Amino acid sequence: MIRLDSIKLQVPNEVINSFGSSFISSQSADTNGVILTDKLTLNNTGYTGFKSFITDRKTNSSTLEVSAKILGADYIEGINQNTIEQALETVNKTKHLDINVNRFLDTSTVLRCDVTNNIKPEVFNETFYKTLAALPIAKKYHIDLFNTKRNLGVVYKGSQKTVRDRIIFYDKTLDIIRDKEFRNSPYANKLYNDFKGVVRVESNHSQFKALNKHFGDRSLLTVLKSPVKLNYNVFSRITDKTTDVNLALFNQFEGMKFSAIRNYLGDKGIIELCNNDWQQIELFIKVYNTNNYRHFKKHIRAVYNTITAQESKTDLNIINHIKQLLNEAA
């Protein structure tokens, strides 16, 4: 099922029954007095998740922008075919305007949306995100890693000339903690517990051509009822030519300085050169370190033992693991 976070919709003005007093009216005209623009704008709604509503009386169309925050305690559900009426009824409850919910649903078109999934990987820590950031993907994608006390996540951005992919994996609990509206809400603890151990996956879609390609057309009901697994498709496309990466291989680097990582990988290279045969490794050390043989033998032996222990563990391939979770996401 498609779940959306932020979404911008366009509807005909006929779906609006009435306006409240908070809208700001604005007009512009040319030198001959011909009206060029004629709008009613509501940008500061004062309600969580209700971003804006703009009515254009020249084009007879309106735009509504909301996020799944408008669902309150049900935020984790996202805007989907089961919660869309709840979101629109909440807009009506603000008293800023009154919309005909049924007509709105039948006539609204998606201008922009963020498609989300909530997944629970077997390994949930910094290593997960660092491994994602280190994937050897195609050059047409740029990767950013955010790793601070207030923000933990990875963003993939495409540099294609036509449809540009953008997908983010992040820790939503940190987002909830730093968000003042969430933090002060009566359901703050529920939201934190809902997202504990969850990786939030979110892709952004704002190009009409891409939306039509993904969903067939841009009508809201078509999008919400679509069976397409969009985040699975985007991540699969990004990692299509990537060699499988074992998440367990990155655990060993936690807490290590970069110089130590370089030394480790150098020792690992020697071990692999000697086909993981300790007698050959020991001979290699003796040949090239006649004056300090025992010192290097001790360090390389520790790396050798670590590698041997890892080989007995179950591998967790991060790419296949994420694809499986996204494919199974409800």
3-state secondary structure the chain: CCCEEEEEEEEEHHHEEEECCCCEEEEEECCCCCEEEEEEEECCCCCCCEEEEEEECCCCEEEEEECHHHHHHHHHHCECCCCHHHHHHHHHHCCCEEECHHHHHHHCEEEEEEEEEEECCCCCCHHHHHHHHCCCCCCCEEEEEEECCCCEEEEEEECCCCCCCEEEEEEHHHHHHHCHHHHCCCCHHHHHHHHCCCEEEEEEECCHHHHHHHHCCCEHHHHHHCCCCHHHHHHHHHCCCCCCCEHHHHHHHCCCCHHHHHHHHHHHHHHHHCCCCHHHHHHHHHHHCCCCHHHHHHHHHHHHHHHHHHHCCCCCEHHHHHHHHHHHCC
Q: Tell me, what's the pLDDT at 315?
A: 57
CA distances from 260 to 166, 264, 265 (A): 34, 6, 9
Give 310's pLDDT tier (boundaries 50, 70, 90).
low
Q: Tell me, what's the pLDDT at 314?
A: 47
Contact by Cβ (8 Å): 88, 62: no
Tokens of 209: 């051509």
Contact by Cβ (8 Å): 182, 194: no
pLDDT > 90: percent of the chain: 53
> CA nearest 321: which of 183, 122, 130?
122
Q: Does 309 score more than 70 pLDDT?
A: no
Tokens of 116: 């989300």
Q: Does 307 score more than 50 pLDDT?
A: yes
Mean pLDDT in the chain?
Answer: 88
Question: Average pLDDT of 5-11?
Answer: 97
Give 212's pLDDT tier (boundaries 50, 70, 90).
very high
Q: Tell me, what's the pLDDT at 243?
A: 67
Question: Average pLDDT of 204-217?
Answer: 91
> CA nearest 237: which of 269, 253, 214?
214
Neighbour count for residue 197 (Cβ, 10 Å): 13
Q: Which residue has the higher pLDDT, 279 or 64?
A: 64
pTM of the model: 0.80
> CA nearest 90: which of 81, 82, 99?
99
Give the span between the Cα atoms of 69 and 82, in whole angstroms: 15
Q: Tell me, what's the pLDDT at 312?
A: 47
Q: Does 7 score more than 60 pLDDT?
A: yes
Give the span between the Cα atoms of 215 and 213, in whole angstroms: 6
Give the span between the Cα atoms of 147 and 125, in whole angstroms: 11
pLDDT in tens, 84-132: 999 999 999 999 999 999 999 999 999 999 999 999 998 777 888 888 8
pLDDT in tens, 19-47: 999 999 998 988 888 888 999 999 999 99
Pairing of strands 109-119, 50-56: unpaired
Give the span between the Cα atoms of 234 and 229, in whole angstroms: 9
Q: Poorest-confidence range of 134-138, 168-172, 268-272?
A: 134-138
pLDDT in tens, 244-271: 666 665 666 666 688 877 887 888 888 8
Question: Average pLDDT of 279-305?
Answer: 80
Q: Does 175 score more than 60 pLDDT?
A: yes
Q: Does 222 score more than 80 pLDDT?
A: yes
Q: Does 302 score more than 90 pLDDT?
A: no
